[in-house]
Structure 1
Amino acid sequence: MRSGKAKVYIDNPPGISPIFEITESALMRHLVEKTQLLGKLEIVFGSGADGFKEGIRNAEILVGWNFPTASLAHMAPRLRWIQLISSGLDHLLPLNWLPIDVLLTRASGTHRQRTDEFVTLSLLMLNNQIPKIVTNKKSGRFEDHYVDNIKGKTTLVLGVGAVGSIVAASARKLRMKTIGIRARDIPSDVVDEVYSVNQLRDHLPRADFVVVATPKTSRTIRLLGRAEMDCMKPGAGIVNLSRLGVVDEIALMDYLGKECFSGVVFDSTEAAASPSTIRLANANNLILTPHSLNNDREHFRQNMLKIFVENLERYLLGKALVDLVDPLREY
């Protein structure tokens, strides 16, 4: 039986966008119907290095995104659970800093509606060769081109997790066939067919579109690399929703230069002035989009807080947490 209150430290990094900032009023709107929880919590909000050092000192629960990890066990000896406000955690890898007795959870599914709309838009742009039209416009060319309907074409989804499931649903609404590739060939009803990552090259030649939606881990770096691109059918399109590095950027530039692909939509988390962003922005037949397009201005924070409060209730009741990260798998 738990005795005393669980101290929760909410870490808001300096300069964080209002979309991601966890305010007291926003959190309380989700806790107002959970009166049984309020009496069991001591909630502290903070920002910056000094705020983190002080707030984490006696905290049992940390909610944040990008925080100091060095000497975390020493700074927070009572810490037992970390809830990330995002689904991505590649910025925290490797997880060798995570104390063995501390749970780490993500917030998967916060982008569901926006991801659906973005993927639908991207697939339709690729099918209609919009990246090529944009490239032609830059060079003053205006050429006719003709394409087939998207219905009946095949989308290969690389990574059938929370995001990949949304991708598959988007493709199905466009009446497309779907192939799922995941770490293990565990059956999935969100795609028509599912195979293990070891079979990726066998099925790439079947895909009209490849959507990369796998988490970035030490095992997925350059998962769609030169050898994989060489297996793709001429004129196929790529949508990248993963962090930079999962798709081999240099190989991608080469294949675009040879006009092997119909086009690429590349979602980027990189800063606008980074070398990678500049290279991608200048590539022909590639549309570079800022990662912010996947963030729902109205619903992201409330979706994330809903996940946190559900996990908070589970934690206090001693139940298994949702979106628990396996440190060995890195997601």
Structure 2
Amino acid sequence: MVPLKPVKNSPEDLPHTFSTHNPADDMHPTSRLILHIKNNRAGEEAFRFTGERIAAALERHGDAADRIDIRVDWDLDNFEKSMRDADALVTWDLPTAGLGDRAPHLRWIHIIGAGVEHLQPLTWLPPRTILTNNRGVHAEKTAESAAMAVLMLHNRIPAYVSDQRASRWNPVYVPPIAGKTVAVIGVGEMGGAATRAFKALGLKVLGIRRGGAPHPSVDEMHGPDGLRTVLGAADFVHVTLPQTPETTGLIDRQAIRAMKQGAGLVNFGRAPVIDHEALVEALRDGHLGGALLDVHDPEPLPAGSPLWKVPNLILTPHVSSDDDRSYIPATLDLVFENCKRLLNGESLKNRVDPSLGY
């Protein structure tokens, strides 16, 4: 076995290949998997696959280590050459045109985020290739951030931040949060994590999900046709929807005006789900008591965006569900679990349905 070397953070130091290959396995080519990991050169260090992180994950998944050849480089470096032999690809983004011909052996692509809207429509996906995503990897951090967000809204922190900017002293006393109602719009992996945090705070939880299937932490689950009902009943609305043609603009002016007077809104899903012009209007005229947005369009949010100066609004830079310590190790655990499943002919976790876009 060739020992893994650290993956550096500069292009000139990043090795194009390293491998756990055992030459004795060459007589059994069908028992092996060639896995290409493409680090995002434009991305943050927190989301890079380093040699140390890969080596630690292989220690945790030793039963698969000797069956996988791992090649690591930057996203577009050597892409054409990489795809000639790739069985599997881990990446954030990729050139998709003609991929079926350029990657004749590619059986699986894993996207290191929960959303795949940047790759839609998924008509480019070769019929033989499975697409998976990172949903669920965010759960622990998402739960903490969801609790933080509704507690901030309940305790008027967005309003106090606006008061601070205006040098205005305006104390308002609020009771404990238990007994309030929160609506979670999109009870998937992230939304489900949020519901567990909300129940721990003593909130009544209403949910919206496709099909309306029940969830153990949701008191009342509705299908999409129940959106206006839950919006009107909730003190807080927590959005965790993916971006699809069906969800884009879903929280529009009518939906925002259907919310309770003084309610709070959180978006941990995707920015285009919400009509920001209508949100700003509702914050300025007092229909909503506050909002917290963690997702934006575009990102980074431009310095000239009017959102920076909207009263009773807190903006965070897309950090609610990610962290710099556990995100990549958890991603690698999911990747290596799916490597084993692929080698054994089993169904992969976190499959994306191309027809739904998530």
Residue matched to 1:161: 188
What secondary structure, in the 3-state scheme, does the structure 1 residue paired with 2:85 have?
Answer: coil
Q: Structure 2 CA distance, aligned partners of 1:259 and 1:34? A: 53
5 Å-filtered alignment, 1:1-331, equals 3=30, 5-269=32-296, 270-274=298-302, 278-331=305-358
After TM superposition, give the deviation of residue 251 of structure 1 in Å: 1.1
Q: Structure 2 CA distance, aligned partners of 1:235 and 1:257? A: 12
Distance 1:273 1:124, change over 3 A: closer
After TM superposition, give the deviation of residue 25 of structure 1 in Å: 3.0
Q: Which amino acid aligns with 1:97?
A: W
Residue matched to 2:19: none
Which runs of 5 or more residues in structure 1 are unaligned?
none
* 8 Å contact from structure 1 (residues 46, 55) kept in 2: no
What secondary structure, in the 3-state scheme, does the structure 2 residue paired with 1:294 have?
Answer: coil
Q: Which amino acid aligns with 2:300?
A: A
Which runs of 5 or more residues in structure 2 are unaligned?
1-27
Q: Deviations for 1:253-287, whole angstroms, at most 9, x for unmatched residues?
A: 11112111110011025433538x82222211100
Q: Structure 1 CA distance, aligned partners of 2:295 and 2:61? A: 38
Q: Structure 2 CA distance, aligned partners of 1:137 and 1:89? A: 38
After TM superposition, give the deviation of residue 140 of structure 1 in Å: 2.1
Question: Comparing 153-162 with 311-320, which one deviates more in the overlay?
Answer: 311-320
Q: Structure 1 CA distance, aligned partners of 2:232 and 2:356? A: 28
CA RMSD for the aligned pairs? 1.7
Question: Comparing 288-297 with 229-238, which one deviates more in the overlay?
Answer: 288-297
After TM superposition, give the deviation of residue 28 of structure 1 in Å: 2.5
Distance 1:16 1:229, change over 3 A: closer
Q: Which amino acid aligns with 2:93?
A: N
Question: Comparing 196-205 with 35-44, which one deviates more in the overlay?
Answer: 35-44
After TM superposition, give the deviation of residue 159 of structure 1 in Å: 0.5
Q: Structure 2 CA distance, aligned partners of 1:181 and 1:194? A: 6
Q: Which amino acid aligns with 2:175?
A: D
After TM superposition, give the deviation of residue 27 of structure 1 in Å: 1.7
What secondary structure, in the 3-state scheme, does the structure 2 residue paired with 1:3 have?
Answer: helix
Q: Structure 2 CA distance, aligned partners of 1:48 and 1:130? A: 40
Q: Which amino acid aligns with 1:281?
A: W
* 8 Å contact from structure 1 (residues 238, 264) kept in 2: yes
Q: TM-score, normalised by structure 1?
A: 0.95
Q: Deviations for 1:71-91, whole angstroms, at most 9, x for unmatched residues?
A: 222221111100111112111
Q: Structure 2 CA distance, aligned partners of 1:35 and 1:148? A: 52
Q: Which amino acid aligns with 2:87?
A: E
Q: Which amino acid aligns with 1:197?
A: P
Question: Comparing 319-328 with 48-57, which one deviates more in the overlay?
Answer: 48-57
Q: Structure 2 CA distance, aligned partners of 1:301 and 1:6? A: 21
* 8 Å contact from structure 1 (residues 134, 285) kept in 2: yes
Q: Structure 2 CA distance, aligned partners of 1:265 and 1:189? A: 26
Q: Structure 1 CA distance, aligned partners of 2:51 and 2:97? A: 28
After TM superposition, give the deviation of residue 124 of structure 1 in Å: 0.8
Q: Structure 2 CA distance, aligned partners of 1:49 and 1:309? A: 23
Question: Percent of pairs identical after alignment?
Answer: 35
Q: Structure 2 CA distance, aligned partners of 1:310 and 1:4? A: 16
What secondary structure, in the 3-state scheme, does the structure 2 residue paired with 1:104 have?
Answer: strand
Q: Structure 2 CA distance, aligned partners of 1:187 and 1:143? A: 42
Distance 1:170 1:328, change over 3 A: same
Question: Comparing 9-18 with 247-256, which one deviates more in the overlay?
Answer: 9-18
Q: Structure 1 CA distance, aligned partners of 2:140 and 2:31? A: 39
What secondary structure, in the 3-state scheme, does the structure 1 residue paired with 2:206 have?
Answer: strand
Q: Structure 1 CA distance, aligned partners of 2:275 and 2:156? A: 22
